[in-house]
Amino acid sequence: MEKNKLENKLISIIVPVLNEEQNIPVLYNKIKDNLKGYYYEIIFINDGSSDQSKDVIENMMKKNENVKLINLSRNFGHQIAISCGIDYCMGDAAIIIDADLQDPPEVIPKMIQKWQEGFDVVYAVRKAREGESILKKLTASIFYRLMKILSGTKIPLDTGDFRLISKKVILVLKRTREYQRFMRGLISWVGFSQVGIEFTRDKRFSGKTKYPLFSMIKFALDGILSFSLMPLRIVSIMGIVTVAILLLLIIYSLYRTIIGQTVPGWASTTVIILFLGSIQLISVGIIGEYLGRVYEEVKRRPLYIIDSVIGFKTSRKNNKTEEFEKWD
Ligand code: UDP
Ligand code: MG
């Protein structure tokens, strides 16, 4: 690979971190090995860790000035932590990677190569997933397929957030401030030339997943509701279909009255009431989910709150402010 061409290019590695003290040193060494010959910065976003992650990163910073750390004021969630990293990165390209070594750093040079070929987004497709429960694999698989059906945006199947994005994409994302974030959906929505490369998703090096079933459901709902109006449409369609069925029923009961067969049937009445009642409840629930999200958006709170930023040189920080002004 011709590394000379890249001499003046900076690669930003963005790592969201929630309690990953065991994983960080191993990850760091692997990233470093795979970035030999490139200018790089590794930005760790400490998303409210309660273990020693922060100290581990700070120790690393003493040895390597390319390591930077942003401490958030509390846990804001994986997707927001990534967004914070994107906001603060200075690279010509950024690579988002999980801290638990499930996304192998060995794929990084391949991503950079694709970027050099002119692609703006290089996403990593999970060819196989190792060491994850059947439940996780199954729900993930259903989720990705459901997303494909429901959303207008073409989100590639079986891809996580492990991907490279070019400066163009970084600049767009810095300006996309929506609160409900589903990063991989947003990155697909941005457009430009995108390409996938396959990899095998390893099991977690150490520690536990931060996405138990409940968080996964929330994540899936965020993904679907922020990228699709289809559930609302289904509600309208259900309304039209029930009205049609009820019209037929009305005609039928009038007919029975006219011919004198008016024996009241409680079963049909109960069924209709229950049926309508449940459809209405579901509909109100779905509308409520959207309304709740609108509510979150209109509050316009900051996406995240930073406790401290370490390792970014002052001049760089000033640069960042200027850039923000330019974009708005
Ligand atoms: N993470 C985070 N904040 C959270 C949850 C997770 O920064 O609230 C980080 C976590 O440290 C890891 C990445 O996001 O680097 C992915 O999380 P995890 O491995 O738990 O997800 P999974 O791979 O099980 O889907
Ligand atoms: Mg993981």
Domain range annotation of the chain: 8-228+302-327, 230-298
Q: Which ligand is nearest to the CA of 99?
A: 1
Q: What is the four-CA torsion angle of 114, 120, 122, 123, rounded to 10 degrees?
A: -170
Q: Are 60 and 24 in contact (CB under 8 A)?
A: yes
Token pair belonging to 52: 């020693």
Q: Give the pLDDT of residue 322.
A: 39
Ligand 1 centroid from CA 78, angstroms:
6
Atom of ligand 1 nearest to the CA of 48: 3
Atom of ligand 1 nearest to the CA of 82: 7
Q: Which residue's alpha carbon is at the smallest distance from atom 6 of ligand 1?
A: 78
Highest mean pLDDT among 88-102, 154-168, 312-326 belongs to 88-102
Above 80 in pLDDT, residue 15?
yes
pLDDT tens digits, residue range 17-58?
A: 999 999 999 999 999 999 988 899 999 999 999 999 999 999
**Could you say which of 3.90.550.10, 3.40.50.150, 3.40.50.10470, 1.10.10.10 is the CATH number of the domain covering 8-228+302-327?**
3.90.550.10
Over residues 240-265, mean pLDDT? 80
Q: Which ligand is nearest to the CA of 133?
A: 1
Q: Give the pLDDT of residue 317.
A: 42
3-state secondary structure of 101: coil
pLDDT tens digits, residue range 49-79?
A: 999 999 999 998 988 888 999 999 999 999 9
Q: Which residue's alpha carbon is at the smallest distance from atom 1 of ligand 1?
A: 78
Q: Running DSSP on this structure, what letter comes out for residue 155?
A: P
| pLDDT, greater one: 251 or 325 | 251
- Please report which confidence band the pLDDT of residue 291 belongs to, taking 50, 70 and 90 as the band edges: confident
Ligand 2 centroid from CA 79, angstroms:
13
Ligand 1 centroid from CA 103, angstroms:
11
> Which residue in 10, 77, 63 sits closest to 319, CA to CA?
10
Q: Report the C-alpha gap between 93 and 169 in whole angstroms.
A: 9
CA 232 to chain centre: 22
Q: Which residue's alpha carbon is at the smallest distance from atom 25 of ligand 1?
A: 211
Q: Give the pLDDT of residue 224.
A: 80
* Ligand 1 pocket residues where CB is under 6 Å: 16-18, 20, 47, 75, 77-78, 81, 98-100, 102, 209-211
For a pocket test of ligand 1, which of 15, 17, 18, 73 has the largest count of ligand atoms closer than 8 A to its C-beta? Answer: 18
Q: Which ligand is nearest to the CA of 77?
A: 1
- Please report which confidence band the pLDDT of residue 316 belongs to, taking 50, 70 and 90 as the band edges: very low
Over residues 181-200, mean pLDDT? 86
Q: Which residue's alpha carbon is at the smallest distance from atom 3 of ligand 1?
A: 78
Atom of ligand 1 nearest to the CA of 216: 25
Q: Give the pLDDT of residue 264.
A: 67
Over residues 195-206, mean pLDDT? 83
Atom of ligand 1 nearest to the CA of 76: 8
> Which residue in 43, 49, 46 sits closest to 19, CA to CA?
49
